Amino acid sequence: MQENEEKTLKNGYLSGRERIVRAGDLELWAEDFGDPGRPTVLLVMGAQAQGVQWNDGIVRRLVDGGRRVIRYDHRDVGRSSVVDFAARPYTVADMASDALAVLDAFGAERAHLVGASLGGVIAQRLALTHPHRVLTLTSLSSQPLGTDTVASVQRVLAGLPPLPGELPPPRPELLAALASAFPDPEAGLEGYVTARMPLWRVLHGPVLPFPEDEYRAMERQVYERARDLRAALNHTLAGAADTGTTVDLASVTAPTLVLHGTEDPMFRPAHAEATASAIPGARLVMIEGMGHTLPTALDDRLADEILHHTGRAQEAPGSSKP
């Protein structure tokens, strides 16, 4: 594949300028959209999710709003390298380094970071460790750095009470759906996609209409792009190995937006409130009816919130426009 290869719509999906980014001995698939001279927005997906799960509608809206947009596949998902986690374990800090490698490859010295779920934690870590690279931070459907969700889930499953001050665990119906959410890929494309729908129904939440065809199309694309579907489970292990703490967030200097759904079954609204409270000056925006997914019905709302946030930072007195 030629670097910066211009591509048109293919198979109904938006395509940009694709490239394979080197991060040490890893290969990371990435693509960018829009004018490279515009401010860069780096979209960082969550655990077990591919970069293309940032909806094309969000990307289009951001580009139309004057942003250059980059999305990419984490290690262990999509077209990026598969890692033997037992032999080479990694952490959120390593995944944050991958994000920097993507920015470097596209010549983006500074960027607006938008991270969803685990991607929000990755973006928070970068805002702490590399503040000079971060124009703004948007933490979407995420939780504060240092939250040990794996441990809280283990306590729930063991019938133990939460620890004092602990943020609420995922809802019981989500834990039940997760138990059967990873069917055997050998069952074939349609069998795999069908088996994933109960999980998406719970993640989507009970308020907004459930667009099953939309989720099926997304899962087909994920299935067809993946080198190894089960490798994505390593992201949960990486998240559990993170060493950051919520207290660290008091040092974040990037203007911060916390976007969250009122119906999020994974990270309940208290997680968003805790993130906004921990980061000085952070602005909390709750999206009515949204769960822990990015349905296309919310593309314009989410993109507009991001455009407003990143635009305010560029227009602030004393700020330098990249």
* pLDDT-above-90 percentage for the chain: 78
Identified catalytic residue from 112, 271, 292, 309: 292
Residue 12 lies in a domain: no
| 76 is a catalytic site residue | no
Residues 247-287 have pLDDT tens digits of 899 999 999 999 999 999 999 999 999 999 999 999 999 99
- Full DSSP string of 24-35: TTEEEEEEEES-
User: Residue 105 falls within a domain, yes or no?
Assistant: yes
Give the pLDDT band of residue 241 (cuts 50, 70, 90): low
- Whose tokens are 């703490």? That residue is 245
Q: Is residue 283 part of a domain?
A: yes
Catalytic residue selected from 81, 97, 117, 141: 117
Q: What is the pLDDT of residue 243?
A: 63
How do residues 68-111 score in pLDDT, each as one tens digit? Answer: 999 999 999 999 999 999 999 999 999 999 999 999 999 999 99
The model carries a pTM of 0.92
Distance CA 98, CA 51 (A): 13
Q: Where are the beta strands (DSSP E) in the chain?
A: 17-23, 26-33, 40-44, 68-72, 111-116, 134-140, 256-261, 283-287
Residue 271 is among the residues annotated as catalytic for this protein = no
- The answer to whether position 212 is within a domain reads yes
In this structure, is residue 309 part of a structural domain?
yes
148 is catalytic: no
Q: Is the pLDDT of residue 35 over 90?
A: yes
CATH number at residue 185: 3.40.50.1820
In a domain, 266, yes or no: yes
Asked if residue 311 is part of any domain, the answer here is yes
Which listed residue (76, 98, 242, 264) is catalytic? 264
Residue ranges making up the domain that contains 87: 17-315
Q: What residues have CB less than 8 Å from 54, skipping those under 6 apart?
A: 43, 45, 71, 116, 294
Domains contained in the chain, number: 1
Highest mean pLDDT among 2-16, 62-76, 164-178, 181-195: 62-76
